[in-house]
Structure 1
Amino acid sequence: MHDAFTMEAFELLGIAHPEQVSRKQIRSAYAKRLKQIDPAEDPQGFQALRNALETALAFVDGEGTGPAKLDDVPSPLADPADGNKPGKETDRQAATTPAEPIISAAELGLAELQCLRLGDNTVSTITRLLNDTAFDDLEMNKQLERELVLFLDRRLVMKKGGIPSFTSDITPGLMKAMAARFDWLTDYRGIEKNAGRPELVSMAISFLIGAEQTRQQHQREAMALWDWIMGIAIFVGIPLGVAAQFLEKDSIWQLLAGGAAGVSFLVIMFVLMRR
């Protein structure tokens, strides 16, 4: 038999049959509901959803059916014999009224990250969270790392050739800031612990951060190739051009030498224009 508090929690999560759900299904329902709430605009709704999640998880773990009803707790200010006398009800209500839930700035920031959708201002939001002093605490910093790893796992995409990458809102600069804070390029424990696809996330981080260096390396290799081609063209074209001047006029050999020298000259000009 479920008490009203527990049933209310499951109803808020959108779960009709509490006795048939698992922890994974509860968290999935929570994530679905969370997308419908803006924690910054509705902190009370967010807190109620978090409380419902904790109550539902405690229920399936067999830890109880939620906190005791406050109406069942006798007021220390009330005389049992005077339960319904005028003047006593106010004292009873004051003693049993729950305190207003307090949501920290860090919790709101983490909730905002969980709700961040593709197309939102990802760079400014994550940069603000990275610079928020609310996450200077070691435990809160671990929570921030966890949510960021989960966020990157959701943003993971596969490019042509099976190369792991992220959606376009994850810029190289933003990734460098995240990797520098959590030392992801040398310490993979946070990624391995929290990501559903840790190997792909780690590879995508390395590829994205090293993309600029890789591009520059490709450019250097390409220019080295063109420089080599220009060197060959100069080495072949100049002698052939000189030789064409001494061959019999309008002969097949003069035409071939002159044509080769002309092609070499065009190659040299093309390489020079690309530099």
Structure 2
Amino acid sequence: MRDTFPFLLRLGLDAGADAKDIRRAYARELKKVDQEADPDGFQELRQAYEVALQWQAHQEFEGQAAVPAGVEEAAGTQQAAAAEPAPPIVAQPAPDDPYQLADQAFTQFQSSAQELVSKNESRHQSRWRETLQASLSHDSLLNLTARTIFEARIAHLLATGWKPGHETLFVAASEVLDWARDSRRIQQFGEAGAMVDRAIDQWKLYESMSAHSMGTVKQLIQTVRNTPNPERLAARDDLILFHQLTDRFYHWFSIIIDREILQKWHQAAQAEIARNGTTGAVPLGEAPVESSSKSGWTWSGWQITFMIILLVKGCAALLTSGSHGPSYPSATGQADPVAYQNAVNQAMREELQAAKTLQIAPEEAPPTEQQLEAVRRQVFYVPEPGKGSGVLKASFAVELDGMGKVINVQRTQSSSDQAYDEAVARTLKHTTVFPPGTQRKFPVSFSYRLPE
């Protein structure tokens, strides 16, 4: 028997390998391949793995179905063949149920997780990483389908609500299972995967903040956890800040904070806003959004063309008005200003109607004031102590793809505070408020009024 099959060499095995050896070798080699950077290498490894399993199953089937060695070699006649019982037909063993295999690994994981909580070690990311990696190394997860089902169980566990240690498990799972780097791995798990994926994006936004801003968010999270009944116990500033932060961190908060506590804080914050509003509650108040014009209007090609048509026709009307234009005499023989203005208004209405008949309309609509306001609400910036007073203003050139996703953000004017500039840029890069068909490129400015 040759021991130099290419698929066995790719896995580092010889002809004596069984199915478990093949799965172990594949798991080992898979860690060495970057699936995104080297798709051809991954495909080669995957093909070698599948061919090796088929080869091994065939070898096992042939070995079980072989004629016993004690059968006489001279049994070549029909009589001898009839006298000798035929070897039993042995069906190829069915593969293990991947759901049962995933259950085995997940049960082990749950047991280890309970042990971490009981030993007060659930706050250490390193311990969660070790627990996850131990589960992934379990023999049952050498089956790739079982491994995928195990990942789905972890995603569902996180999406169903907070339990002790989940705030740390969330970070460890995002890294160990590669969810943070490749969102496709988590998005395949349906609604639970979509929620965890959004939570990862919000966690990344938090991680990219300045140390001072991160400290503010972290302090509020701790306050929320320590105040399960915020009505008449939580400070007004904390309630308003909680209201602002849940707009941009809702899914992440739902994983790292008990949802019953979140609901009580939401109700308390809404009651406080109904009583006293939000003005001046915390030093996070931002000045209204300033876009390229006060109304959020952006000149586009069709609008410029329309204005040129109006100007040309207006000039032509002025040049011909002396001999051909209508006159509106008054009792004194001079032009009547009221009649003249009525004529001008009528001409403008006719021009507008003519433009409508041409069906001149923009293919892409500029962002609305409501969309820009939604972006502004997501900007989280806390000024450093002693920053002083005044207004910070930063301007950016934004570029979208055809589906409204932000693909490029370039700063065109700095606010003189790098932390604020970066906060706005981060928000623009992560926002999803622009629908398909929004103008691909547009300028926008945001302002923040520093507290006195």
- Give yes or no for TM over 0.5: no
Q: Which structure has more helix as a fraction of its residues? A: 1
